[in-house]
Amino acid sequence: MITPDSVRSIGLTILCAISLVAIPTLCRGQDFYIYERAPYASAALIYAQSDMIRAQAAASVDYQIARSIAAEAYSKELDNALKTVEIYFQRRAERDAHVLKNHLDEADKRKEKALRRIVDHPELTGEGMSNGRSLNTLKEALRSTVLSFQYLQGDDPEIENLIAQFDLPLEMKSKIRLRFTNVRGETGVFAADTGRLNSFDWWPYLLRDDKFQSSREEIQALLIDIQQNASTRTEIDNRSIEALEKASLNLAGQFLKTYDRTAMAKAGIDKFRLYRASEMHLQSMMLAIQRLKNVGEADGALNMGTYNPNVDGKNLATLLAYMVRHGVEFAPPKPGDEDAYHQLFEMSKNLYVAASSEEDSL
């Protein structure tokens, strides 16, 4: 039987069904529900909460997509920055390589130009290589270079390495003869290995003849006395100097009586060269004796006090620097020592080429 309560329950059920069908209806063109049509506030709240949950889920998905896009953009930004740095260093390396290539090319051109100047220079060929004239020409060409080495040595490793390639062995230095001229016009020749004036240490071919032996022995004996004074740095006895001068004049007189200058010239160039070498040696002896008179001390007269073989003669650069500062030149070598001058010339040539610049000129 149908009771009033059952009718009321059926009515509520139909009403709820109708509300469930009618309320979720979306407005045309809208993404939200019209909660005002809900018959109950609790139903509208439920639908609102469900919409919020769905919106939060969609927002989370959107945030994740946005973060992914931002990360991708940041990654591309880093890639662009790295590529910018790589391009910068690549261009810098290419520029440095280009600059270095130009520098090396210019250095090669300078070396070729310097070598060509050496090859084409008239004083750097032939006899000049054996008598010291070519060395004196190169010395003047290297004047500014070797003097600058004196200031840069110790501070620039490249200069140190360059100079170290031109060390002078003792055997070569013993064959190098250097000539100086002081303010009074006096000249003298000293050895590069000792700094000792060697006007009396060697006799030319003609003066080695037996007819001059007694005069040579007398000069050597007198010189020994003066050298003993040099070891004690005492003043030279005037009588010793006068005796040495007299013995040297006697030898010069004997030589001039034995050999006639005109006759030797007519005998040929070789004979005249032998005569001229002996004549110049006698003149050098007289100048050395004059130096003994002026100096008054044997050590100052027989040795070059300003020259230190271990410092000034350590290598070619220091030797040339000393010669430039003190106005010293290369003297002709002793007979048989020409090979040492040839080796020294090659070393000087290599130094000139290695240190050449646009300003260097012969």
* DSSP for 272-337, written as a single string: HHHHHHHHHHHHHHHHHHHHHHHH-BHHHHHB-TT--TTTTTSBHHHHHHHHHHHT-EEPPPPTT-
Q: What percent of the chain has pLDDT over 70?
A: 67
Q: What is the pLDDT of residue 26?
A: 43
Q: DSSP 3-state assignment of 234?
A: coil
Q: Give Cα 299 to chain centroid, integer Å.
A: 38
- pLDDT tens track for 186-216: 566 777 887 766 555 567 788 888 888 888 8
Count the alpha carbons within 13 Å of 133 in the hemisphere toward its beta carbon. 10
The side-by-side arrangement of strands in the sheet containing 177-181 is: 187-191, 177-181, 329-330
pLDDT in tens, 148-181: 776 666 666 777 777 778 888 888 888 888 887 6
- Using CB atoms within 10 A of its CB, is residue 267 exposed (0-12), middle (13-18) or buried (19+)? middle
How does DSSP assign 150-174, residue by residue? HHHTTT-HHHHHHHHTTBPPHHHHT
For the segment 304-332, the average pLDDT, to the nearest whole number, is 81
Q: Does the pLDDT of residue 36 top 80, yes or no?
A: no
Mean pLDDT to the nearest integer, 6-28 = 48
Predicted local confidence at residue 271, as pLDDT: 85
